[in-house]
Structure 1
Amino acid sequence: MASLTIPLSVLDLAPISSGQTARDSFEASVALARAAERAGYERVWYAEHHNMATIASSATSVVIGYVAAHTERIRLGSGGVMLPNHSPLVIAEQFGTLGTLFPGRIDLGLGRAPGSDQQTMLALRRDHQSADSFPQDVLELDGYLTGRSRIPGVQAVPRPEEPVPLYILGSSLFGAQLAARLGLPYAFASHFAPDALHQAVTVYRETFQPSEQLAEPYVIAGVNVFAADDHDTAEDQRVRAYRARTRAFISRGARGGNFTDAEIDAFLASPAGASLANMTRYTAVGTPDEVREYLLKFAGEAGADELITAHHASAVDDRVRSVELTGAALRDAG
């Protein structure tokens, strides 16, 4: 298979669509990963969210293992595990197990956000100060994964022969600075938090210190994609998906919200909805040619070495088709 013009990956939010079950979501994730594998994508990542009725990836490592068992080559990982919610040792054991079962195919992306609301944070037994120890927790986790434990007498079992690589996720300068200091790849969440993208990438590249894992800085930037066989279909998918997203935000993640389409559109056009609309500023919409043009321009302007694409069409078949068309478009470019 011909290589892609720029490495592409997929961020699968594992949505539970209206009228479907969590099991349906997991089967959809398998279909999406298989499509990405066929199309030459680098990896598929799953994000840790809690107490959200429309997202099925709360037990991120379990989802990764299930999809890995139903694919052959593509890398799979977290985008990310919210490390302050967990003991570094437990995460090392989980991903050490995955790396042992699926050698050379597992990534461990790490974030410091709660991935939940305040009440859920308490239910996770997370302390309000947990995020403050994130840099130390990353180092502790790295020690377990590389066989150089920082806790005397404690090791993570199993530990794969090839260490599971770490990635720092972020949407601010904090993550960029930490990734640069530790010499780790940096993934910026520009698919929903676009404002600090360029500044964060600049800081990361200018302050990067080489490490055993990584000799040169490596940036992954998030971008939303709606690719279809014709522009109008893609645009319709975008409008429907972002309306549904807005309803979920307004109703705090529940399925409710008896808002008409006109009311949602008016809210997004209002000053109150402007910040929500801005979150999806980086979105490629249209035919394969239109999507290719957008993604290559975005990658150049963002200084990205790799793009991680979030395909939001409501129907599973449409998301799979978007992945296929985007991969084909970038493979044919140049």
Structure 2
Amino acid sequence: MALLSILDLAPVPEGSDAGQALRNSADLARHAEGLGYNRFWMAEHHNMPGIASAATAVALAHVGAATKRIRIGAGGVMLPNHAPLIIAEQFGTLAALHPGRVDLGLGRAPGTDQVAAHAMRRNLAGDVDDFPRDVIELMRYFEPAQPGQRLQAVPGAGLDIPVWILGSSTYGAQLAAMLGLPYAFASHFAPAMMMEAIAAYRAEFRPSARLEKPYVMLGLPVFAAESEERARFLFSSQQQAFLNLRRGMPGKLPAPVEGFDAQIDPRGRMILEQALGCAVVGGPEAVRRGVQDFVARTGADELMVAAAIHDHAARKRSYEILAEAWGGMAQAA
């Protein structure tokens, strides 16, 4: 049975700010830990007023200090934005503070627009096709230091930090397979190539010292409430946010709107189907069935559940309903 984990972008609701969003993330992580979720990941995004997790390692340190057992990690760090040594030191520091709890997921997208990408990299001459080389360099920094080694990640050297490859196409799937690493697919916002990427990863996987057999984690938007109507209402915030982003107007997470589905034009429906086509939205039983069907269709080993819900209490309740429904199914099985 697939494990449940959480992907949290520290959403900044309209009427709130980044500080409160990060405090909400820590509170959600404590709640998730009590509910038995496996991991709590945060992701690097830039120049987005509705996302407060840009400084991902800093945000994870905050979450790690607020929890005791749940694994924390990046889902992910966009490696082309950084020198591998810097990321090794950042996540080595996290692992030193929270031993045995830290994961590092790596992606090759910029996680932003071209303006912010230029501001981070100063120029865009770097080739994202250097990504495989950078991943290998980064993993080497986590190996035990050798006598006479002139460059070390401190902290970092000798810490066994699990490295994941993230992707939304077959590129990341093939790289993860070649390196023998676990693979996470971004089906929570780009599900189009999900099945093709999963098949490529499993078919081409080479066992490694880090992983003996393929391990697939899939992003899944889940919006749960006591009723279908209430869940659809909560989901409208995410729908609005995606439409705003795709139309070049990113902002804070909008408040939910009653009957929003009826207001979406045909082009908007196409955008949302492309981005959120895997979303599971409904009451407890509908959510249980939807998640069960998704796992049966994909064979996922783990789900990374994402839910950008405007009201923090409702967001906590959504994850609670999912945990109860999934746990109840496990007992029934």
TM-score (norm 1): 0.92
Pairing partner for 1:19 from 15, 18, 27: 15
Aligned to 1:138: 135
Aligned to 2:75: 79
Q: 1:1-334 to 2 correspondence within 5 Å? A: 5-125=1-121, 127-147=124-144, 153-159=150-156, 162-254=159-251, 268-271=264-267, 274-333=270-329, 334=333
1:65-123 alpha-carbon deviations (Å, 9 max, x no partner): 00000001000000000000000000000000100110011000000000111111111
Shift of 1:275: 3.1
Per mean C-alpha deviation after superposition, the further-off stretch among 18-27 and 153-162 is 153-162
Unaligned runs of 5+ in 2: none
Provide the secondary structure at the position in 2 that maps to 1:78.
Answer: strand
Unaligned runs of 5+ in 1: none
- What is the percent sequence identity of the aligned residues? 44
Shift of 1:148: 6.2
User: Which amino acid in 2 is paired with 1:43?
Assistant: R
Shift of 1:256: 11
RMSD across aligned positions (CA): 2.2
Distance 1:161 1:256, change over 3 A: closer
Runs of 4+ in 1 over 6 A off after TM superposition: 260-264
Shift of 1:27: 0.8
User: Which amino acid in 2 is paired with 1:74?
Assistant: I
Separation of aligned partners in 2, 1:51 and 1:18: 16
Provide the secondary structure at the position in 1 that maps to 2:276.
Answer: coil
Shift of 1:16: 0.8
Separation of aligned partners in 1, 2:267 and 2:233: 24
Distance 1:256 1:75, change over 3 A: closer
Shift of 1:282: 0.5
- Number of aligned residue pairs: give it: 326
Shift of 1:312: 2.1
TM-score (norm 2): 0.92
Separation of aligned partners in 2, 1:127 and 1:183: 30
1:247-267 alpha-carbon deviations (Å, 9 max, x no partner): 34324313599xx9999955x
